[in-house]
Amino acid sequence: MLETEDMVQHDLPPELVRRLQVEELWARRLVLAEWMNAERLNAYYRHHAEMRPAAFPSVDVTGKEPARPAASIVPIKPMKSLATGS
Interval 25-52: pLDDT, tens: 999 999 999 999 999 999 998 888 777 7
The whole domain housing 14 covers 2-51
Kindly state whether residue 11 falls inside one of the protein's structural domains.
yes
Higher local confidence (pLDDT), 49 or 56: 49
1: confidence class by pLDDT, cuts 50, 70, 90: very low
Look at residue 85 and tell me if it is in a domain: no
Long-range contacts of 35-41, Cβ-Cβ distance < 8 Å, separation of 24 or more: none
Work out how many domains the chain is built from and give that number: 1
72 within some domain: no
User: Does 37 map to a domain?
Assistant: yes
- pLDDT given for residue 31 in this prediction: 94
Asked if the structure places residue 32 within a domain, the reply is yes
What phi and psi, each to the nearest 5 degrees, are found at residue 74?
-110, 120
SS (H, E, C) the chain: CEECCCCEECCCCHHHHHHHHHHHHHHHHHHHHHHHHHHHHHHHHHHHHHHCCCCCCCCCCCCCCCCCCCCCCCCCCCCCCCCCCC
- Cα separation, 45 vs 66, whole angstroms: 16
Per-residue confidence band for 76, with pLDDT thresholds at 50, 70 and 90:
confident
Domain contains 44? yes
49 versus 55: the higher-pLDDT residue is 49
